[in-house]
C-alpha cells in the first residue's frame, strides 16, 4: 500500500466557498498543494482574485468566481462554470459563513435571524444539492462542511442564530452521508473551535479575553487556520475513504472538559 498516494489530489477539482479569506483560503491553498484544481468561490471578488493569484504561484490551476452562495441562480452558474472549466467536481468545501451581531435573543430581528440562516445553512443546502447532482452522475465525491463546536454546545456569548445554524449543518452532514452513501459520496464536517481569523480579529485584540479562552483549552492556544486545512485534505482524499457522516472537532480539546 502506497499511503502517500492516498493523500494525492492530483487531477481532482475542488470548490471552496468563502475561499477568499480565513479558513477557506487556507483550505484552498492546502488542497492546491496536494494537486487539486481549486475554484475559489467568494462574495468578495477582490478577495477571491487575490487568493487565486497567490495560490496560482504554486503552479495550481485556480479559478476565482465571485458568488453569493445563498442565491440559487448564482450557485447554478458557479457549478456550470466549474464544469465548463474542469469537467468534473470531486470535492466541495462548504465553508462560507457569517457570525451574528451580539445581542439578546428577544431583541433579534427576523431579518437578522434569516440572514444568518441564509448564509450559514441555506448555502450548504444549495451548494450540496447542485454539486451533489454532478457527483451522483459520476458516483463519487467528497463534501466537507465547516461546522463549529457550536454544533455541539451553546456559546457563552448570545449567539443563538449562529449556534442553531451550525447545529443544522451537523444534522445535514449526517443525513446526506446516509442518503448519498449509495452514490459513493462521502459527507463530513470539521467543527473548529476558537480560530485566528478575520471573524475573530476583534476578539484577538483583547489580550485578557484571549487569555481566558486559552485557559479553557487543554492545548492552551487558539487554533491556526493551517490546523484546519490539513484535516480538510484528509477528508478530501482517499485516505479517509471509510469516513462519512462524521463531525470532527478541531478545538484543542475545548470540549473534553
The DSSP letter of residue 56 is H
Q: Nearest CA to 86 among 24, 8, 19, 10?
A: 10
Listed as own residue / partner, the contacts of 43-46 with beta carbons closer than 8 Å and 24 or more positions apart are 43/67, 43/68, 43/69, 43/96, 44/20, 46/20
Q: Which of 3, 130, 162, 242 is catalytic?
A: 162
Strand order in the sheet with 62-66: 62-66, 37-42, 13-17, 91-94, 141-146, 185-192, 247-250
Q: How far is CA 25 from CA 3, 62, 131, in A?
A: 26, 12, 20
3-state secondary structure of 10: coil
The verdict on whether 162 is a catalytic residue reads yes
Q: How far is CA 212 from the centre of its chain?
A: 27
Q: Is 109 exposed, middle or buried (0-12, 13-18, 19+ CB in 10 A)?
A: exposed
Are the beta carbons of 80 and 4 closer than 8 angstroms? no
* Cell numbers linked to 103: 445581542
Closest CA to 31 of 75, 70, 89, 117: 89
For 171, other C-beta atoms within 10 Å of its C-beta total 11
Could you list the active site residues? 162
Amino acid at each position: 500500500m502506497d499511503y502517500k498516494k492516498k493523500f494525492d489530489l492530483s487531477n481532482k477539482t475542488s470548490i471552496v466557498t468563502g475561499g477568499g479569506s480565513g479558513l477557506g483560503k487556507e483550505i484552498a491553498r492546502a488542497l492546491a498543494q496536494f494537486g487539486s484544481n481549486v475554484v475559489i468561490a467568494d462574495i468578495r471578488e477582490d478577495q477571491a482574485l487575490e487568493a487565486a493569484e497567490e495560490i496560482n504561484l504554486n503552479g495550481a490551476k485556480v479559478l476565482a468566481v465571485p458568488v453569493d452562495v445563498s442565491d440559487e441562480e448564482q450557485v447554478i452558474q458557479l457549478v456550470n462554470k466549474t464544469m465548463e472549466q474542469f469537467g468534473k467536481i470531486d470535492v466541495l468545501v462548504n465553508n462560507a459563513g457569517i457570525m451574528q451581531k451580539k445581542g439578546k435573543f428577544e431583541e433579534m430581528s427576523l431579518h437578522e435571524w434569516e440572514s444568518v440562516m441564509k448564509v450559514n445553512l441555506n448555502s450548504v443546502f444549495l451548494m450540496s444539492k447542485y454539486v451533489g447532482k454532478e457527483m451522483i452522475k459520476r458516483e463519487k465525491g467528497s463534501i466537507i462542511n465547516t461546522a463549529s463546536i457550536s454544533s455541539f454546545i451553546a456559546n457563552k456569548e448570545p449567539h443563538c442564530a449562529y449556534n442553531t445554524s451550525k447545529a443544522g449543518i451537523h444534522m445535514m452532514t449526517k443525513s446526506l452521508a446516509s442518503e448519498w452513501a449509495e452514490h459513493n459520496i462521502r459527507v463530513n464536517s470539521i467543527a473548529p473551535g476558537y480560530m485566528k481569523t478575520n471573524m475573530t480579529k476583534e476578539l484577538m485584540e483583547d489580550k485578557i479575553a484571549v487569555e481566558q479562552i486559552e485557559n479553557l483549552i487543554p492545548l492552551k492556544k487558539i487554533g491556526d487556520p493551517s490546523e484546519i486545512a490539513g484535516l480538510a485534505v484528509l477528508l478530501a482524499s482517499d485516505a479517509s475513504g471509510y469516513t462519512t457522516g462524521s463531525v470532527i472537532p478541531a478545538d484543542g480539546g475545548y470540549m473534553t472538559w
